[in-house]
Amino acid sequence: MTARLVFKTIGRTFRSGQHTTTALAGVDLTLEPGSFTAIVGPSGCGKSTLLHIAAGLDTQFQGTFTRDPANAKLACLFQQPRLLPWRSARDNVSFVLEARGVSRQEARRRAGEMLDLVGLGPAANRYPSQLSGGMQQRVSLARALAVDPDLLLMDEPFSALDELTAARLREELVALCAQRARTILFVTHNIPEACYLAERVIVMTAHPGTVMAEVDIDLPRPRSADDPRLAEVAARVRLFIDNGRSKEIAA
């Protein structure tokens, strides 16, 4: 099972006192089951807001959002690993399984397997403070995948990491995603990253945040980050964003 997401004329306005911010306006977007979609756009264009709506964390929006099936299993990965500091890597992963009713013994066994999968088996007993940023994000990825999600929502998960670590994690993500069809929504401000990972790149512009273009990326996986065809696509995406910016400035 994988999930289909449909956003129809989504709007979101934040009000605080006299101040209102239209974070999103008129967003129409469909994510087909098993597709890998990246959303790129400048900081503040509403990417995280859209992801929060997809995750069900924000319900104060206008328009309609549907997730089909409604009980699709969902996992999120954020920029910060958000690990529990008093639990080992293994227990950070087993925790989410136990919360879903898996026995402690089985949860710990599966957590070990997931950590092996992300290359962290030997560090399973270490605590977050004993792990590098990249290793912590790997634990977070293992935790997200441990529930075998139909839908994986990621908000700039690699942007706090050094480029070499981020590049390795991108490769690993592609390999892990090849093992089972899932619907993936990946938010980033990193254009080459979006083009490397996704089948489709959605370009957003700000004020108000809206979809201004879609770019299909028909290159087979695994891709080489140095593929000149990716650089060409990235240049096209950049052009859309720059055009959007110049419209903002003119307005």
Ligand X SMILES: Nc1ncnc2c1ncn2[C@@H]1O[C@H](COP(=O)(O)OP(=O)(O)O)[C@@H](O)[C@H]1O
Partner that binds at residue 44, options ligand X, Mg ion, none, CB closer than 5 to 8 Å by kind: ligand X
Q: Does the footprint of ligand X cover residue 26 (CB under 6 A)?
A: no
Using DSSP bridges, classify how beta strands 4-16 and 62-68 pair: parallel, antiparallel or unpaired. antiparallel
* Contact string 109-128 vs ligand X (x = CB under 6 A): --------------------
The only residue of 18, 43, 105, 129 in contact with ligand X, by rule CB under 6 A: 43
Q: Is 23 in the site for ligand X (CB under 6 A)?
A: yes
Q: One symbol per residue from 201 to 230: x for binding ligand X (CB under 6 A), - otherwise; what is it?
A: --------x---------------------
Nearer to ligand X, 169 or 206 (CB): 206
Residue 42 or 119: the one with the smaller Cβ distance to Mg ion is: 42
Please identify which residue in 48, 88, 92, 183 interacts with Mg ion, judged by CB under 5 A. Answer: 48
Determine, following the binding rule CB under 6 A, whether residue 47 of this chain makes contact with ligand X: yes
Q: Which stretch binds Mg ion (CB under 5 A): 41-49, 80-88, 99-107, 210-218?
A: 41-49
Footprint on this chain of Mg ion (rule: CB under 5 A): 48
